[in-house]
Amino acid sequence: MATSVDALRGVTAITVTPFDGAGAPDWSGYEAIVARMGEAGVQVITPNGNTSEFYALSRTEWQRANEVTAAAAGASVVMPGVGYDVGTAKDMAVAVQQLGAPLAMLHQPVHPHQSVAGWVAYNREIAQSAPGLGFVLYVKDTRIGSDALGSLFDACPNVVGIKYAVPDPLRFGEICASLGTDRVAWSCGLAERWAPSFWPLGAAGFTSGGVNVAPRLSLDYLAALRSGDQGEVRRLWALIAPFEELRAEDATARNVAVVKEALAQQGLCGATVRPPAGDLSPQQREQVTEILASWAEAGY
Amino acid sequence: MATSVDALRGVTAITVTPFDGAGAPDWSGYEAIVARMGEAGVQVITPNGNTSEFYALSRTEWQRANEVTAAAAGASVVMPGVGYDVGTAKDMAVAVQQLGAPLAMLHQPVHPHQSVAGWVAYNREIAQSAPGLGFVLYVKDTRIGSDALGSLFDACPNVVGIKYAVPDPLRFGEICASLGTDRVAWSCGLAERWAPSFWPLGAAGFTSGGVNVAPRLSLDYLAALRSGDQGEVRRLWALIAPFEELRAEDATARNVAVVKEALAQQGLCGATVRPPAGDLSPQQREQVTEILASWAEAGY
């Protein structure tokens, strides 16, 4: 598990799940996207994350996405997303182990009525059911602090990483200050734009959807963050920001469609998303074209 | 379907799913709670809503909850909750029809990246897959307005009700003013406390978790709202408010546990909830005791 945990201190790609004209997954397009990231040296690849439209896939499609990823990922560590109710998440963890993947990313529960203690119990029960599998926990609730996370670190040696996705660097810094940065790998779960604000406070990696489109760009950005080259961080931050801003608009309605549109313009897959995810207007597609042109001009 | 739609202009009970000491559903406790509501004349009973811990139940438990409800509901209309991805929701709609229930409540999708058009497509695809089943759509997103709902009313004659659960009476009023109040039954999806603020603007019913505990109280409150007796509305509102306030605390962490604790104190079922839902402290259990005493004093 140690090597896999090291990989979490890097770029974690969240895949897209491309669809064909009939609305079924396009597994050959998917494979090409994953293989390109593996060849580029992306540290971790996560099928079945939010950008993968996890909540719009069937259980059969969930399984197939994991299998295709494992076959195409090369040297990248495969970390499938698991989730839903406790029983389903446990079943998914078993399937991830059977696949031979070393890590799983446990989604935030979708239940509308959660307490901090209940969130801890949910994560503990699932992680303890598969002690041989490393878990990265997805934190999207500002109420989750160092007491909650510390109790999980104590109870579950196989909790090896945190994907922190609350847009509050001070809260993140407070948690890292209290728990230290050695016990688990801390990842900025809000992608490239937020990574610099989390980095000096304890983050050693970030998750990314954009890496599907430009693997080298995300990896160069990681290198800049690691080296502390402020000028290079700012240069690449400005290059990536318009893409992430477009993904964030309208309550992140087009988070997935922007990535797929860029991949479609690269000829790698179709651009469609499943409901309730949002589609792009012709004007937004044009914006994607302009962003890709700016990346090409910069050598990406 | 017409009689069922009339029932939506009333109290829609969202059941709790009680658990036994081993954590499995206690179906005989469940049956007793449903039967009491049926005998009291509650208009609609919804298994597998949020208060039912829908997102913590297995698919088998989902089915069983619907069956037990149908068997115990007496003259109440049964309206199971359906949801998740489009394929799963369609399968659930088929199962609801096989059970003979006339209506289904379609949960808000759990997908984190939604557009208004995507939300419309999600609801349309599911509703059109089961034209013989009446659907109540659950609105929790303030972006959903009269254009989105109007297009669904046009495309799906079997969309017969809206459970409006955005805490914004002006937005609700605007939508009802635009679409009228005849095409579907409008329900305040935020329970008893919010109902008076939605009522004069178009609501003709409300959903309730508290009705599990005190069926006659919710029905008397409905009668007061219908008759426009402001004094009686205010008297019952004040009686119900402390219960709903306790359920709303801490981002609704104990929404379910408060209802189950009250039922446990009535001797009807156990008080446990599944993770990630929150449990009550001894002090909060004491508050429930005090609220029940105040209801008893008022004749409930």
How many angstroms separate the CA atoms of B70 and B97, rounded?
12
pLDDT (mean) for A144-158 = 98
Please give, rounded to a whole number of angstroms, the shortest distance from the CA of A122 to a CA of chain B. 5
Q: How confident is the model at residue A1 (pLDDT cuts 50, 70, 90)?
A: low
The pLDDT value recorded for residue B1 is 62
How many angstroms separate the CA atoms of B212 and B268, rounded?
10
Closest CA to B105 of B125, B79, B85: B79
Question: Closest residue of A to B56, CA-based?
Answer: A85
Amino acid at B175: I
SS3 A223: helix
CB contact, 8 Å: B253 with chain A? yes
Q: Which of B109, B273, B279 sits opposite A55 (nearest CB)?
A: B109
Contact yes or no for A85 and B56 at CB 8 A = yes
Contact yes or no for B114 and A88 at CB 8 A = no
Q: Which of B56, B88, B112 sits opposite A111 (nearest CB)?
A: B56
Contact yes or no for A275 and B88 at CB 8 A = no
Q: Is the pLDDT of residue A2 over 80?
A: no
Say which DSSP state A278 is in: P
Mean pLDDT of chain B: 97
- Summarised one tens digit per residue, pLDDT across range A32-89 is 999 999 999 999 999 999 999 999 999 999 999 999 999 999 999 999 999 999 999 9
CB contact, 8 Å: A276 with chain B? yes
Contact yes or no for A56 and B279 at CB 8 A = no
Contact yes or no for A85 and B250 at CB 8 A = no
pLDDT (mean) for A152-176 = 98
**What is the ipTM for the molecules in this complex?**
0.95
Contact yes or no for B118 and A53 at CB 8 A = no
Q: 3-state secondary structure string, chain B? A: CHHHHHHHCCEEEECCCCECCCCCECHHHHHHHHHHHHHHCCCEEECCCCCCCHHHCCHHHHHHHHHHHHHHCCCCEECCEECCCHHHHHHHHHHHHHHCCCEEEECCCCCCCCCHHHHHHHHHHHHHCCCCCEEEEEECCCCCCHHHHHHHHHHCCCEEEEEECCCCHHHHHHHHHHHCCCCCEEEECCHHHHHHHHHHHCCCEEEECHHHCCHHHHHHHHHHHHHCCHHHHHHHHHHHHHHHHHHHHHHHCCHHHHHHHHHHHCCCCCCCCCCCCCCCCHHHHHHHHHHHHHHHHCCC
Please give, rounded to a whole number of angstroms, the shortest distance from the CA of B296 to a CA of chain A. 28
Q: How confident is the model at residue B91 (pLDDT cuts 50, 70, 90)?
A: very high
Residues whose CB falls within 8 Å of the CB of residue A79, separated by 6 or more in sequence, listed in order: A4, A12, A44, A45, A46, A101, A102, A103, A104, A105, A136
Closest CA to B8 of B149, B228, B152, B189: B189
Contacting residues of B for A125, CB less than 8 Å apart: 275
The pLDDT value recorded for residue B3 is 80
Give the phi and the psi of residue A105 in degrees, each rounded to 5.
-105, 120
Integer distance in angstroms from the first to the last C-alpha of chain B? 33
Integer distance in angstroms from the first to the last C-alpha of chain A? 33
Range B94-98 contact pairs with CB under 8 angstroms and sequence separation of 24 or more: B94/B130, B95/B63, B95/B66, B96/B66, B96/B130, B96/B133, B97/B130, B97/B132, B97/B133
Q: Which of B110, B143, B278 sits opposite A55 (nearest CB)?
A: B110
- Best mutation target among A16, A107, A115, A152 (most B Cβ atoms within 10 Å) is A115
Task: Show the domains of chain B with their CATH numbers.
Answer: 2-227 (3.20.20.70)
- Summarised one tens digit per residue, pLDDT across range B9-54 is 999 999 999 999 999 999 999 999 999 999 999 999 999 999 999 9
Residues whose CB falls within 8 Å of the CB of residue B192, separated by 6 or more in sequence, listed in order: B206, B208, B210, B218, B221, B236, B237, B240, B244
Q: Which of B58, B125, B252 sits opposite A275 (nearest CB)?
A: B125
Contact yes or no for A278 and B118 at CB 8 A = yes
Mean pLDDT of chain A: 97
How many angstroms separate the CA atoms of A300 and A221, rounded?
12
Q: Is the pLDDT of residue A154 over 70?
A: yes
- Summarised one tens digit per residue, pLDDT across range B150-209 is 999 999 999 999 999 999 999 999 999 999 999 999 999 999 999 999 999 999 999 999
Is residue A242 classed exposed, middle or buried when 0-12, 13-18 and 19+ CB atoms within 10 A define those classes? Answer: middle
CB contact, 8 Å: B234 with chain A? no
Closest CA to A240 of A218, A264, A267: A218
Q: Is the pLDDT of residue A3 over 90?
A: no
Contact yes or no for B113 and A256 at CB 8 A = yes
The number of C-alpha atoms within 13 Å of A228 and in the hemisphere containing its C-beta is 1
Contact yes or no for A121 and B276 at CB 8 A = yes
How many angstroms separate the CA atoms of A286 and A284, rounded?
5
